Amino acid sequence: MSTVGGRYRLMTEVGTGGMASVWRAVDARLDRTVAVKLLRPDLAESPRARERAEIEARAAARLVHPNIAVIHDAGHIRRGLRGRVPYLVMEFVDGETLCQRLSAQGSMPWQRAARITVQIADALAAAHLHRVVHRDIKPGNIILTPSRVKVVDFGLAAFVGVLPAGPAGVLLGTPEYMAPEQIRGEPVTAAADVYALGLVLLQMLTGSLPWTAADRHGLLQQRRRFPHVRMPPVAGVPAAIVALCEQCLSEDPQWRPSSRHIARVVRETLAEHDPDPETVDVSVPMTVHRAARSVATAPASWALPTRQRLRRPSRRTVATAIAILAAIVGWIHPVGSPLTASASDPPTGSGVCAIRYTSHRSSATFTADLAIRGRTQKPWRLQFTAPAGQHVTAVTAVAWSQTGAQVALTGTEPLASGQLVAVTLTGELQQIDAPPPGDFAVNGVICERSVAVFAVAQPDTA
Lowest pLDDT segment from 12-16, 118-122, 286-290, 457-461: 286-290
CB 436 within 8 A of CB 405: no
Considering Cα of 453, then 459, then 460, then 462, what sign does the dihedral take?
positive
Considering Cα of 195, then 210, then 326, then 430, what sign does the dihedral take?
positive
d(CA 265, CA 258) in angstroms, rounded, equals 11
- Percent of the chain past pLDDT 90, that is, above it, reads 29
**How many other CB atoms are there within 10 angstroms of residue 196's CB atom?**
27
Q: Is the pLDDT of residue 357 over 80?
A: yes
Strand-pairing partners, residue 445, are 442
**What is the tens place of the pLDDT at every residue in 120-176?**
999 999 989 888 888 889 998 999 988 899 998 876 666 554 433 344 445 556 888
**Which amino acid belongs to residue 278?**
E
**Which amino acid belongs to residue 135?**
R
Average pLDDT over residues 388-394: 92
3-state helix, strand, coil in the chain (%, to 5): 25, 30, 50
d(CA 25, CA 355) in angstroms, rounded, equals 49
Mean pLDDT of the chain: 75
pLDDT for 269 equals 93
The residue that leads in pLDDT, 356 or 162, is 356
Give 1's pLDDT tier (boundaries 50, 70, 90): low
Strand-pairing partners, residue 35, are 24, 90
From 300, 97, 136, select the one nearest 208 (Cα to Cα). Answer: 300
From 284, 261, 270, select the one nearest 237 (Cα to Cα). Answer: 270
H helices then E strands: how many in the chain? 8, 22
The residue that leads in pLDDT, 135 or 331, is 135
d(CA 255, CA 198) in angstroms, rounded, equals 13
Average pLDDT over residues 386-405: 92
Any idea which residues carry the catalytic annotation?
136
End-to-end CA distance of the chain: 27
Lowest pLDDT segment from 50-59, 166-175, 357-366, 372-381: 166-175
| Residue 138, marked binder | no
pLDDT for 75 equals 83
pLDDT for 234 equals 86
**All domains in the chain, ordered by first residue:** 3-91 (3.30.200.20), 96-317 (1.10.510.10), 353-455 (2.60.40.290)
d(CA 319, CA 298) in angstroms, rounded, equals 32
The residue that leads in pLDDT, 338 or 174, is 174
Q: Is the pLDDT of residue 102 over 70?
A: yes
Rounded alpha-carbon distances, angstroms, from residue 25 to 13, 15, 32, 57, 146 = 9, 13, 8, 18, 21
Q: Is the pLDDT of residue 380 over 80?
A: yes
CB 338 within 8 A of CB 424: no
d(CA 437, CA 432) in angstroms, rounded, equals 13
pLDDT for 304 equals 35
Q: Is the pLDDT of residue 280 over 70?
A: no
Q: Is the pLDDT of residue 400 over 60?
A: yes
Helix (H, G, I), strand (E, B) or coil at 342: coil
d(CA 123, CA 6) in angstroms, rounded, equals 32
d(CA 339, CA 356) in angstroms, rounded, equals 15
d(CA 105, CA 216) in angstroms, rounded, equals 24
CB 262 within 8 A of CB 122: no
**Model confidence, pTM:** 0.60
Average pLDDT over residues 378-394: 92
- Return the H-helix or E-strand segment holding 220: helix 216-225
pLDDT for 218 equals 78
CB 38 within 8 A of CB 17: no
d(CA 22, CA 31) in angstroms, rounded, equals 19
Average pLDDT over residues 107-126: 94
| Cβ contacts of 293 within 8 Å, gap of 6 or more | 109, 111
Q: Is the pLDDT of residue 48 over 50?
A: yes
pLDDT for 157 equals 63
Strand-pairing partners, residue 370, are 357, 423
Q: Is the pLDDT of residue 333 over 70?
A: no
Considering Cα of 264, then 266, then 270, then 273, what sign does the dihedral take?
positive
**What is the tens place of the pLDDT at every residue in 221-276?**
778 877 778 888 888 999 999 999 999 999 889 899 999 999 999 999 999 886 54
288 DSSP 8-state letter: S
Strand-pairing partners, residue 90, are 35, 71
